[in-house]
Amino acid sequence: MEKERYGIIFSVTFLLALGIIMIFSTGSVDEEGLIGNRLFLKHLSWMALSVGGLLAISRVDYRFYQRHAAKLLIAAFFFLAIVLIPGIGYEANGARRWLRAGPVGFQPSEFAKFALIIFFASFLARREVKIKGFLATFLPAMLILILAAGLILKEPDLGTAGLICLVVLVLFFVAGVRLNYLFGFGALAASLTYIFLWPKFAYWQERIQSFLNPWEDPQGGGYQIIQSLIALGRGGLGGVGFGASQQKFFFLPAARTDFLLAILGEEMGFLGTAFIVLLYTVFIYAGINIARKAPDFFGFLLAFGFTFGIALQAATNIAVVTASVPTKGLSLPFVSFGGSSLLFSMLSVGILLNISQERKGVEDIPEVVGAEDVC
């Protein structure tokens, strides 16, 4: 799988490089309006940690995670629970999504995405012979998914909760779970969300309304979408030039995170954004081929889950920036500023690279007996 490995390395390397360039450009002005390189240096620090993590984890046999999937799940639930405790979880903009130790912040939902993909890949692989069972496979898995999504919704973080649910459901689909189970669960979840949660979260309704008609409130709910479109429109075909963005000067909120692509489009134009899409296309193609050629069912599910998760997040971010869907609060993988997202995206790539080193016909992992067999 050499060409798949090169495809992953090529696409991720260029995405990281573009991220560094754009963080440097937008980091010329920090949130207090001071000229400096503090955010850029912070991004480089997370980059170094993430690259180190990728190199280390790429040397670990991916079957190792099957043996420890239950432990990762328990750790994810622990972090998702304690971040909700006032005084422990760090609150910003009305959401409690971070754990902080001095200047370093950690987002448990990013770890949860990583851990849940590993857990459900292991869960399905161990139940391959009874994959279509409702009581043995589907019901317990959905209860775990509901609990994880519920904790993330309490932060609140609708975008991440929805992303995780969709990734897991698609993972179940490719694993061979019955379609009527998946459609039934999806319909039930959508109905319960609309009945019980929709009335309680006014900001969800405001986001939908702003998406449908941003010009109805151009200085309020529609402001971010309008400024994003202005940035993309101003960039034209070839962009206004590196560092020449005007929208980054406090016109476009979240310019370094959720809407970094809009600044890239302003400075590098349509050609720059098209190159970003091309890089993700290469990544998806290589990742799916790694999954297809994986030596066992667990490797297939793990590679597919990580590839689809990153692809879905990238597609959602691009859709948000281009006003194709309502704002979700999801960063652009490998490119946007955000330490936790970058770290766990790179760890996912490290596991993908390890799977790509294997060949079909490798002996299956010995069955592990004990408490960990629940996964």
Q: What tens-digit pLDDT sequence spans the chain (375 residues)? A: 788 999 999 999 999 999 999 998 887 655 444 444 778 888 999 999 999 999 999 999 999 999 999 999 999 999 999 999 988 888 877 778 888 876 778 899 999 999 999 999 999 999 988 898 999 899 999 999 999 999 998 888 888 999 999 999 999 999 999 999 999 988 888 888 777 766 666 666 777 777 878 888 888 878 999 999 999 999 999 999 998 899 988 789 888 889 999 999 999 999 999 999 999 999 999 999 999 999 999 999 999 999 999 999 999 999 999 999 888 888 999 999 988 999 999 999 999 999 999 765 443 433 333 334 444
Task: Report CA dihedral (240, 281, 305, 176) to the nearest 10 degrees.
Answer: 140
Global confidence as pTM: 0.90
Q: Decide if 89 is inside a domain.
A: yes
Structure tokens that stand for 152 in this block: 């993330």
Amino acid identity of residue 346, one-letter, is M
> Is position 157 within any domain?
yes
Tokens of 215: 């010009």
Phi-psi label, residue 105: left if phi above 0, alpha if psi -120 to 50, beta otherwise = beta
**Edge-to-edge strand list for the sheet holding 89-92:** 89-92, 95-101, 104-106
Give the Cα separation of 280 and 314 in Å (integer). Answer: 8
| Number of domains composing the chain | 1
In a domain? residue 95: yes
Q: What is the pLDDT of residue 170?
A: 96
Is residue 369 situated within a structural domain? no
**Amino acid (one-letter) located at 84:** L
CA 163 to chain centroid, in Å, comes to 7
Token representation of residue 366:
């010995």
User: 70 is written with which tokens?
Assistant: 């239950």
Longest Cα–Cα distance of the chain, Å, equals 61
Query: Which of 178, 176, 179, 198 lies closest to 189, judged by CA?
Result: 198
Determine, yes or no, domain membership for 368: no
Give 95's strand partners.
92
The range of the structural domain enclosing residue 167 comes to: 2-360
Is 371 part of any domain?
Answer: no
As a whole number of angstroms, the distance between CA 51 and CA 224 comes to: 32
Contact residues for 95 (Cβ-Cβ < 8 A; gap 6+): 155, 156, 157
Specify the pairing of strand 95-101 against strand 104-106.
antiparallel
| H-only helix segments in the chain | 2-26, 38-57, 64-67, 69-82, 108-126, 139-153, 158-175, 179-192, 202-212, 223-235, 260-292, 297-321, 339-356
Look up residue 297 and give its two tokens: 């069912």
Domain assignment of residue 204, yes or no: yes
Beta bridge partners of 98: 90
Q: Does residue 350 form part of some domain?
A: yes
